[in-house]
Every structure is written in C-alpha cells, then in structure tokens.
Amino acid sequence: RHLSPRLTPSEGLARPPPPPTDNCPNGSFRPSHDSVEWEGRSLLKALVKKSALCGEQVHVLGCEVSEEEFREGFDSSINNRLVYHDLFRDPLSWSKPGKALPGGPLEALRALDKRTGSGPATIALDSLSWLLHHLPCPILCQTLHALSRQDSCPGDTLPGEQVRVLGLLHEELHGPGPLGALSSLAQTEVTLSGTMGQASAHILYRRPRQRPTLQTQWFSILPDFSLELQVEPLLESQPPSDLHTPSVDPTTHLTFNLHLSKKEREAKDSLTLPFQFSSEKQQALLRPGLGQATSHIFYEPDAYDDLDQEDPDDDLDV
C-alpha cells in the first residue's frame, strides 16, 4: 500500500489550524532556517502547537532554552501533550550532582526514536545548530534519517505511526557543507526573513520524483502562538504621483542665455567650420590671395645638429 504524500502547498502552512488532516508524508524532516534578525523559535512553537492541537504527541529536545521558557505561552491542553527532554540544564555533564540526560546528546536524540512508538508524533529539535556543534555531522544526519523513518517502505508502517521531525537551524552558524547535508535530508525547508517588520517564510518543498517547488508566505505569530497567514504587504516606498502639479520650466531665471534669436541663428547656420573642406576653402588654399602671406619657417641649427640634405625617401620606388 503506497502512501502518497499529500502535503500540497495549499495544505501546508496555508491552512489555518486545525482541522486535523493527514497532511504529512510518512516520516518527514523539516528544518526551519532562522537568523539573528528573524528568529525562528516562535514559528517552531506555533508548529508544535498546531501538531498538539491535531491530537499528536509532541516530543521536544530542548538544548537552547529551559523547559519553562519553551512552555511559556502554551495553555495546559498543549502542555499536556508536550514532553520536554531537557538538554538545556546540563548537556555536557558538568554539574556535580549530575542533572544530565544519560548518554549525552546523542543518546538523548536516539532515545526519541523509541519513545514515539505509538500514534502519530512530532519531534521538535531546538535546536539543530546546537546538535550540529556537538555531534559530528555524519552521525547527526544518520540519526535524523533513522528518526524520521525515511528508510522504511511506506507499506511497512501504518498511517498511525507517522513521525514528523521539525528542526530549528540558525543559518549563520554553519558552513555550506553541513547546511547542504541537512537540506538534502529534508522534505520541506523553511527560511525566515522579512521586510518592514513583517516576517516571511520561503518554503522549499522537495517531493520524491517531483521538481522542488518554492513558495513565499507572509505570516505573523500571535501572542498565543497561533499562526496567522497574511497577504504580501504593499510596498509603501513608492511616492504617489501627482498629476496636477504644473511642470516648472527649468530654463527660466537663468543668469546665462540658453536661447538664440533669429539673427543669431542665421549667423550660426552660415558659419563655416574651420575643418570643413568646402570648394571655397579649396580655392583659397590653392591660390593664396593678396594679404595672405606665405608662411616662412626660420630655423637656426645648433652646433650638434646633423643636417642631412638628402631625401630619406629617395630609395622608395613609388
């Protein structure tokens, strides 16, 4: 039995939460790229809320913020469905009475696989950047691949066992290699940016045997972490064109004259340019008239001058 992925652009972020729809292919991995200017944790929390409202269990591997901070803003119905695996307090086992999760970050990540055995579930990784800094990239990619069950055949797993993996990635902290590796694992990649205070998400969908599609969606996150989709804001920077202002003639009130009178125009048109070779000029040159003195060249040779009266072109056979 083949589960066709039904995450179409209209059903992804475009549909306001709920209604619960089977809108996710079996096992998918979705990283959200954010930056310092446009932070992504609010969007991650909004997606977590959406999953929880659909009735799924949500497991959060929290590395960057404390549990209280992550749960802030969620009401009790969502918090009850949210299991927070705390890698924030003591991820590297530095504390003396150890508060760390056993086995460190890698084991904590692998353990999520076993916890999501029953029912559809969402795993949120906050953040992938932290994991990428502390685990070798190949191991992280292999673990994510296993976590999102991408290597299992669609016929083997029941629709009730779908696992969706959401990851938050801070783009500026990594080079192109690790970013590319994580991108290749992902079915959907969301990059956050925005203009004029309005956030936007550039969503890249990669579906098997189909061309990747890119969509831009403007959105905002409400205080209760609901996702509100918006129309593209109008560019306010275009100045309004005013048809009624009379155009001012810039040639008035000048201290110099830009115009020619009729006489001046005639004089200008009848002037012969010095390098224009007309028939009158030719006659004037051929016949030097009275008053035109022929030009003489006066030359006083130096002591060192070598005056050679021979014509250097004599030997030319022209």
Partner 1 sequence: MFPELNNLLNTTPEGAEQGKLTLLCDAKTDGSFLVHHFLSFYLKANCKVCFVALVQSFSHYNMVGQKLGVSLTTARERGQLVVLEGLKSAVDIFFRPQEEPHPLQFLREANAGDLQPLYAFVRDALEPVDCGEAAWRCPVLLVDDLSVLLSLGVGPVAVLDFVHYCRATVCREWKGNVVALVHDSGDAEDEESDVLLNGLSHQSHLILRAEGLATGFCKDVHGQLRILWRRPLQPTTPRDRSLTYQYKIQDKSVSFFAKGMSPAVL
Binding site for partner 1 (CB under 8 A): 36-37, 39, 42, 64, 66, 68-69, 72-73, 88-92, 94, 129, 133-134, 170, 172-173, 175, 222-225
What is the Cα–Cα distance from 48 to 83, expressed in whole angstroms?
A: 11
What is the Cα–Cα distance from 21 to 300, expressed in whole angstroms?
A: 107
Between 198 and 216, name the residue whose CB sits nearer to partner 1.
198
Between 105 and 120, name the residue whose CB sits nearer to partner 1.
105
Phi, psi (deg, nearest 5) at residue 176: -65, -25
Kindly list the distances between the CA atom of residue 62 and the CA atoms of 51, 85, 95, 167, 279, in Å, as whole numbers in the listed order.
17, 6, 18, 11, 95
| Of 17, 42, 43, nearest in space to 30 by CA | 43
Between 3 and 100, name the residue whose CB sits nearer to partner 1.
100
Residue 58 Cβ, how far from partner 1 at the closest point, in Å? 19
Return the structure tokens found at 152: 């299992």
Specify the DSSP class assigned to residue 148: T
Cα distance between the two ends of the chain: 97
Between 111 and 221, name the residue whose CB sits nearer to partner 1.
221
Residue 143 Cβ, how far from partner 1 at the closest point, in Å? 19
Residue 271 Cβ, how far from partner 1 at the closest point, in Å? 51
Residue 73 Cβ, how far from partner 1 at the closest point, in Å? 6
Between 121 and 166, name the residue whose CB sits nearer to partner 1.
166
Kindly list the distances between the CA atom of residue 188 and the CA atoms of 35, 78, 120, 215, in Å, as whole numbers in the listed order.
18, 24, 18, 11
Torsion of CA 64, 33, 111, 132, to 10 degrees: -70
Residue 141 Cβ, how far from partner 1 at the closest point, in Å? 18
Residues linked to residue 287 through DSSP beta bridges, in sequence order? none
Between 69 and 107, name the residue whose CB sits nearer to partner 1.
69
Residue 94 Cβ, how far from partner 1 at the closest point, in Å? 5
